[in-house]
Amino acid sequence: MPLLSGTSYTGTASKIANKYWFDRVQTGLTVKNNDSVNKITVYVADNERTLAPGETFVFDEEFEYFHVKTKNKTASFTATVATNLTSLQADNAQQNYSRKLLPSVLDEGKIIEGFENAADWTVTGTGTVTANTAQFQEGSQALKVNVTTNAGSVVMEKSLTSPRNLFFANRRLFLRFYVHQYANAITSLASLKIEFAVDTAWVYYCHTTISLKNLHKGWNCIALPINRELTWTFVSSAWTDTFQKIRLTITADTGVQGAITLDSLKMGFKGVPKFVVMFDDGHKSVRDIAFPYMAAKNIPGTFYVSQDRIGVDPYLGTDDLLRIQSFGWTIANHTKGHTAMSGTDSATFLAQIKDHATWLSAQGFNGSKHVAYPGGSHDDNTVLRMAKYNMYTGRSTQGYNNLGTIADEQYRLNIIYMTNNFDLTTLKYYLDLVRDSGTTGFLVFHRISDTPADNYDILTSKFYGVIDYLDNNNCDCITIDDWYKGNYGEMQ
C-alpha cells in the first residue's frame, strides 16, 4: 500500500487485518464502511468495533495506529482524522488480527442454512428465536436462540431450502455460531442436537448431539464428521438419503439459562487434520518421559513455561528447555508468575505476558508470543490486549470436549484436555473426531507419571498410547508456531 498524507484515506479491508500508522498520537478517528454488503471490523487501542454496511463510527481513543479487516472478501472503507495528519502509512505486513480459517481448510463448504429469517422456523420449547444484527458474519443477520428456563430447551424446525444429500464422501458439515455470556458463566449451554429428516413426519431421520459445555464466549466454528457415521445415528435412514427437513434443539445446562447465535450451517467442508501436543508449566517429567518418547517418533511438542518457575523444583531450567527446543519444540509463554489473567489490568498484562515474552526471547526461547492462559483464565480485555501487543496466539483450557478446533478466535483457542480421567479408548475417540472432521486437536498435558497423584498427572502408558496412535496413523503433528504460520502467515 502507498504512503499517504492528508486527513482522510480510502482503502480496502480484506481478511488480513491491515495496520495503518500515524506519525504521532491521534484522537477522533472516524471510520466509514463504504461497502453495501460486508461488515468491517476496526481495532483502535483497546476498542474493537464492527461496522455494518454503510455505518460510520467515531472512535474517541488516543491511538497511534489502527487495524481494519473484513471477514468476507473485501470491503471499502474511509478513515478520517480531524487534524495533525501529516502522513498516513499503510503497513501491509500480515498482522495478528486475522481470523481467516486455516489454509488447511480446503473448502469451507456451501451454505445450506443461513439463519437469515426467524419466521422460517417453527419454534417450540422454552425460549425465543430472534434476529441478531449485532453478531453475524455471513448474510445480513443471524438468529439468536435464548433458552429462558433453567436447563430448558428451544426446538426449531424448518424445511431445507431444497432437499439434499448432505453427506458426501470426505466432506463435513460446518457450523458457525456465537456464544453469549450469561451471568458470570463462561457458557451456560449444554448441548446442540441436529436432526435431518427424509420425510415430513420425522419417521426417517438422523441425528447427532454436540456438547456445548466449556465453549468460549464469542465466535466458534465446528466441523462435524459425517462419512464414518462416528457421531450420527440413522433411524430408518442412511447417509445416502435425500433429506428435506432440519430440526435443532438447543439445551441450557443444569440450573442455568443460555443463549447462542447461529450464523451459518454449511455442507461440503473439507480440512486437513492436525495435532499440536502441548505441555503446560515446565515439569521435569516432560523432559524425562514425554520428550524422548516423542523425539524417537519425530513428533515435536509445545511447552508453555513461566519465568518465576524456571529452574525451581519441580520445574525445568533454561538449559534443559533450550535443549528440548533444539529438537524442534516451541517454548512458549505461560505468563511470568503463572498468573490468572481474568479481571486484571493493563499493567498486569504488560508484566505477565508482554514483558515476559521479551524476557523469554532474551533467553533464546522461540515461542514467546504464543500464550497459554494459566487455568484458562482470561477475559475480553485480555483478548484485546493480546491483539494490541501483537501476540500470536492465546490458548484457553476450554474446549468442545469432543471436537477439534477451527481457528476463528486466535486468542481463545480451544483444546482437548488430556487428563487421567479418560481411558485410552476415550482419548483415541477424540483423536478420531479430529481426524475425521479435518480440524486441529490441541492436546494439552501437564505431567506424565507412573503413579498419577491427580488428574493433571497422566499415566505414562496412557501417554505412550496417545503418541503411538498419532504415530501409527500418520497424523500431522506440529508445534503451535507452525500451526500459526500455516494459518496466519509468517510474521514480518
Binding residues vs Zn ion (CB under 5 A)? 280-281, 374
The nearer residue to Zn ion, 241 or 280, going by C-beta atoms, is 280
Strand order, beta sheet including 233-235: 122-125, 153-164, 243-252, 189-197, 205-211, 233-235
DSSP 45: T
| Shortest Å, Cβ 372 to Zn ion | 7
Distance spanning both ends of the chain, measured CA to CA: 15
Distance, CA of 89 to CA of 19 (rounded, Å): 9
The nearer residue to Zn ion, 143 or 448, going by C-beta atoms, is 448
- Please say whether the beta carbons of 418 and 442 come within 8 A: no
| Shortest Å, Cβ 323 to Zn ion | 21
The nearer residue to Zn ion, 97 or 304, going by C-beta atoms, is 304
| Shortest Å, Cβ 286 to Zn ion | 12
Query: Cβ neighbours of residue 295 under 8 Å, at least 6 residues apart?
Result: 327
| Shortest Å, Cβ 303 to Zn ion | 11
Q: What residue type is assigned to position 170 of the chain?
A: N
| Shortest Å, Cβ 443 to Zn ion | 15
| Shortest Å, Cβ 338 to Zn ion | 6
- Please say whether the beta carbons of 57 and 451 come within 8 A: no
Distance, CA of 124 to CA of 140 (rounded, Å): 25
The nearer residue to Zn ion, 218 or 375, going by C-beta atoms, is 375
The nearer residue to Zn ion, 189 or 444, going by C-beta atoms, is 444
| Shortest Å, Cβ 228 to Zn ion | 35
Closest among 313, 334, 329 to 321, alpha carbons compared: 329
| Shortest Å, Cβ 397 to Zn ion | 9
Distance, CA of 54 to CA of 486 (rounded, Å): 33
| Shortest Å, Cβ 439 to Zn ion | 24
The nearer residue to Zn ion, 138 or 280, going by C-beta atoms, is 280
| Shortest Å, Cβ 346 to Zn ion | 22
SS3 call for 49:
strand
The nearer residue to Zn ion, 262 or 305, going by C-beta atoms, is 305
Q: What residue type is assigned to position 185 of the chain?
A: A
Distance, CA of 382 to CA of 430 (rounded, Å): 29
Residue 146 to residues 132, 134, 218, 477: CA-CA distances in angstroms?
A: 11, 15, 15, 39
Phi, psi of 460 (to 5 degrees): -55, -45
Distance, CA of 7 to CA of 2 (rounded, Å): 15
The nearer residue to Zn ion, 301 or 374, going by C-beta atoms, is 374
Distance, CA of 414 to CA of 288 (rounded, Å): 27
Q: ω into residue 300 within 30 of 0, thus cis? A: no
The nearer residue to Zn ion, 263 or 280, going by C-beta atoms, is 280
CA of residue 218 relative to chain centroid, distance: 9
Query: Cβ neighbours of residue 257 under 8 Å, at least 6 residues apart?
Result: 146, 147, 148, 149, 150, 152, 182, 188
The nearer residue to Zn ion, 33 or 339, going by C-beta atoms, is 339
